[in-house]
Amino acid sequence: MYRGKKVTFTASKEVITKLLACNRTSADIWNACLAASKQHHIRTGTWINQTQLQQAVKGKFPLHSQSVQAVCHKYLFSRDSAIQSKKKGITTARYPHRQKRYFNTKWVDKAFTLHPNGKIELSLGIQNGKRVKPLVLFAKNLPTGDIKEIELCFDRKLYLSVTYDDGQVAKPQTGTYGAGVDMGEVQAIASVCENGEGILLSGRKLRSIHRLRNKKIAQLRRLMSKCKKGSRQWKKYNRAKQYILSKSDRQLRDGSHKITKAFVDWCIAQSIKEMFVGDVGTVSKGTKKKQKLRRRERQKISNWNVGQQVQYLTYKCQAQGIAVTNVNEAYSTQTCPVCHQRHKPKGRMYRCRCGYVSHRDTHGAKNILSEQLYGIFTPIEEKNLTYLRVA
Ligand SMILES: [Zn+2]
């Protein structure tokens, strides 16, 4: 299975300067993609395709040809996702348009060479008919496994993001039960299994990291707005801002890993075969007026990094032979499974006039599950509920 790892490295000052230049060149390629795409659209009224785009940037930049192509791929990927989103009616989706100053450079396949002592050679390809001397750097904690891609990233300093195949084969599906999964902010994960077991994993710690981060960033933004952009004081605040961002990012990633790990362990213990995850992507949609009203709420949602959590959950489940299916979660938190009336729950419990009562968070998970199992919201007996607080 493919996995990613952040790898630090050492290199000579000269190489570091060249590496930084690589990411500036990649930004130039990105900007060239924007320009080529725009021109193509003006001239023909259609979208530029992969061959045409690659032709437009080929041989014009001092990087390995595959590194140039990688930027094109990223451009095409983000453009196509924007097209898809627009088709789905998400009006806020935008085509790639922003000019960049830095862009991660990627080395794939034959563009890099690895040596057993941790030496890495990154090729700059052939320029003007001559092979350019590769960039040499040294890494200590390279992952063991088949390395597929190396990406040069920057977060307060340069590092490598390495994609590799760990050689593990996903376990076959062995479980028996289905489970409904509802992701939220207060309860990071709420799930109920067909066998009647339920679990709640708290997300309060992640939320408090988010809140503290937002508060500090807002403070620094205010301070920065008072001084001249690029001045010494401004730079000082900017460094502090970058520090807070990268630190909180690390903490949040770590927390998401712990939560999803604990959840997958529970799933294995319950012998779960397939989980149905409520599609949270639909939460931030709505009419313009609604969006305005819900600004605060939307901010909450954008802070709560559910995409990352779903991603972590999916790959951990696949490794354990548990299938993950995204399902539409419309009204699952509002509808009563007994009388099918809709109303918003107040407080931590969901109470219906017909007498039905459930924990608010597992209520959604139960509805998601019953709809998948029986095609209709119907009560699922909950025998036992486990509370877990891991991060
Ligand atoms: Zn009811």
Ligand 1 center to 384 CA (angstroms): 22
Ligand 1 center to 307 CA (angstroms): 32
Amino acid at 44: T
- For 217, counting Cβ atoms within 10 Å of its Cβ (0-12 exposed, 13-18 middle, 19+ buried), the class is middle
Ligand 1 center to 372 CA (angstroms): 20
Ligand 1 center to 276 CA (angstroms): 23
Ligand 1 center to 343 CA (angstroms): 9
Ligand 1 center to 162 CA (angstroms): 52
Ligand 1 center to 293 CA (angstroms): 28
CA distance 338 to 195: 20
DSSP 8-state secondary structure symbol assigned to residue 342: B
Report pLDDT for 94. Answer: 87
CA distance 187 to 181: 11
CA distance 54 to 98: 19
- At residue 137, φ and ψ (nearest 5 deg) are -140, 165
Report pLDDT for 289. Answer: 43
What's the rounded mean pLDDT across residues 152-171? Answer: 90
Ligand 1 center to 167 CA (angstroms): 50
Residue of 186, 247, 240 whose CA lies nearest to 218: 240
Ligand 1 center to 69 CA (angstroms): 57
Q: Which residues pair with 198 in a beta bridge?
A: 192, 385
The residue with tokens 């009419």 is: 287
Domains within the chain, CATH numbers bracketed:
2-165 (no CATH), 177-204+250-388 (3.30.420)
Q: Which residues pair with 370 in a beta bridge?
A: none
CA distance 317 to 260: 9
Ligand 1 center to 199 CA (angstroms): 23
Residue 337 neighbours by CB distance under 10 Å? 20
Q: Is the pTM of this model over 0.85?
A: no
Average model confidence (pLDDT) across the chain: 89
Ligand 1 center to 294 CA (angstroms): 27
Ligand 1 center to 335 CA (angstroms): 8
Of the listed ranges 144-158, 259-273, 295-309, the least confidently predicted one is 295-309
Q: What is the tens place of the pLDDT at every residue in 7-51?
A: 999 999 999 999 999 999 999 999 999 999 999 999 999 999 999
What's the rounded mean pLDDT across residues 219-235? Answer: 93
What's the rounded mean pLDDT across residues 295-320? Answer: 74
Contact 350, 359 (CB under 8 A): yes
Q: What is the tens place of the pLDDT at every residue in 348-369?
A: 888 999 999 888 889 999 999 9
Report pLDDT for 382. Answer: 87
Quickly state the pLDDT bin for 345 (edges 50, 70, 90). confident
Ligand 1 center to 368 CA (angstroms): 16
Report pLDDT for 281. Answer: 55
